[in-house]
Structure formats: C-alpha cells, structure tokens
Amino acid sequence: MTLGGTDLNLLLSLKVLLEEGNVTRAGQRLALGQPAMSTALARLRRKFNDELLTRSGRDYELTPFAVELLPEVQHALRLIGTALRVEDEFDPATSERTFRLAMSDYAIAVVHETLLARVTELAPGVSLSIDRMRPDARTSERTMLKYDAVIAPLGLGFPGESRPLWRDRFVCLVDARHPRLTGEGLTLDDLAELPHAVAGFGPAVLTPVDRIFGELGIERRIEATVRGWLPLPFVIEGTDLVAVVPERQARLHTSKLVVVEPPFGEVPLAEGYWFARDRLGDPAHQWLFARLDEVGEVLAPAKP
C-alpha cells in the first residue's frame, strides 16, 4: 500500500529501525531477515538523503536528522493506525523501547527515583531518556511530538492534554547558622531586609514567588539569580542569603540548611505531565501514563 508515493511498509520499517537503533533487532521485531532490513534502510537513506543510522562501535547511533524524524514518523503511524483502527501490541516485560521525557531540574529531583524504580520493576528492558527542560522553555506542537511526555507546572497552556502529578508549596530556606534564625522563624520584616537568592525564568516570566512579594509590597534585595530552582540551595549555603523554594526540593538539603515556614500565606505549586492528544490511542503510551499516574499517587501527600 502506498500513500502520497510512500510505501507504508517502508514507513513502518523506518519507525522500527529508528526506535530500535539496530538493524538486527528491527528485523526481529518485524519478522524480517537482516538482508530485507538492510535493503529497507538503504532505500530510506536514499529517500531522505541522510544516513539515519551510523556505526558506533558494534552498534548504531541515530543521526541528528533521524532524532528529529522519529517522533514525526511515530505520530504519522499513530494517526494511520487510528484511522484503520489498528493497535500495536506492547508487552512491558519484553519491550526494549525508550521513552523520551522532558522536565525541569526540580521535577527530575522530585520524580526520577520513584519513576525509574517502577519502570525497572515492571519493564526491565524499557529505558527512559530524560531531557532537561530550560527554565524559560516554550513548548510547541512540534516539541510535544518530540517527547512521550513533558513534566511541567499545570496551567502553562502547553498544547495537548495534561494530568496532575503532585502538589507542592513554597517555603523559606536558609543556612543552618543564619544569624536571623530563631525559634520564631522569619518575619516579613526579615524578608524585606535580608539579601535574597532567586530563581530566574526569563525576563517575561513571573513566578508565584515574584507575585506574592509583589502583593506584599516587598522589594527584595536580590544578590544572586540562578536559572531554575535547583541551584538555589547550593548558592545560599554558608551565606546570609534567603531563598523561597518548593518544599519538596528544600527538604532534600536539610543537612546544612534549614527549612523555615514562610511568614505569608500558602503559595501552591502544581506539577503534572503533558502529552500530545494522539498518544492516548497507543498501548505503549497508555502504559507509560499509568506509571506516571502511580508516581502521582506516591507523591500525593502535601508534604514528603
């Protein structure tokens, strides 16, 4: 069968070759011999004028063009499968699939241990490729197709669909020997007078912390700005700086730092995962999303 001059069997071969990154494994998955897969790869190289797979030792690596092409091919075949009502099988016990995720440093710190443990337990051959999302990232439809899921704050308006994972709140974090540290914690006057370390997400991005200080009429003495939440504990250690950070992250650093209740009302933070709408028809993505939902259940309590 052809579509637009393209042999759909060749399109399927392209998808499997790029997912497996190996001619032999791709042939086994499609029940084709290595000569047939090598012929398909040669045809695909001519069609795209790109090597697609290049030798790296005893295995192959995807070319940069192939890395960008793979999510487009997966998306196209999912749409075709939906139109023809054909579903691929996915067996987590035997699959060697790699799921590609994007998330911030903060999300990696919170979610990676639970997610990796669950995936390893149920699907020992499945791996996760995690890209660090830039603090000022703006996600487009094309970016959503590139990843199987994107973990980010809810309410950002990313294209596609989203589901909740965990809730957090902001707390103050200071060095354990901070001179203002007393049994009564910090006051609003303290926050107005003390030097701050803050997370920056680009000139046009206001964080919930920025908004609460604006509402309080406090102009912070900002002495250090870093990209994202994760570096802040390392910046304030051994200094008189104060930082307002997500609590789940703050409690990872309590050996030399102290978490202090903020002298303002609760400022919530809600994280979830986003995905392209067509993913729901794919059994492999259904499995991945179920694992993420399980992670959300583990992280459900308001405090770690």
Query: What are the chain's domains?
Result: 2-84 (1.10.10.10), 98-166+270-298 (3.40.190.10), 168-268 (3.40.190.10)
Residues 260 and 88: their CA atoms lie apart, in Å, by 51
Which residues, 6+ apart, have CB-to-CB distance to 6 below 8 Å? none
> Given this model, what pLDDT does residue 203 score?
72
The torsion of the CA quartet 76, 100, 151, 210, rounded to 10 degrees, works out to -110
pLDDT tens digit at each of 304 positions of the chain: 444 455 667 888 888 888 888 888 888 888 888 888 888 889 889 988 999 888 877 777 888 898 888 888 877 777 666 555 445 578 899 888 889 899 988 899 899 899 999 999 999 999 998 988 765 566 666 667 778 899 988 877 777 888 999 999 999 999 988 888 777 788 999 999 999 999 888 777 788 899 999 999 999 999 999 988 889 999 999 999 999 999 998 988 888 899 999 998 888 899 999 888 778 778 889 999 999 999 999 987 644 4
User: What are the two backbone dihedrals, phi and then psi, of residue 113, each rounded to the nearest 5 degrees?
Assistant: -65, -50
The predicted structure's pLDDT at residue 136: 57
pTM of the model: 0.67
The tokens for 227 are 């990209």
The pLDDT value recorded for residue 213 is 93
Residue 78 buriedness (CB in 10 A; 0-12 / 13-18 / 19+): buried
What is d(CA 200, CA 135) in angstroms, rounded to the nearest whole number?
Answer: 8
Greatest alpha-carbon pair distance for the chain in Å reads 75
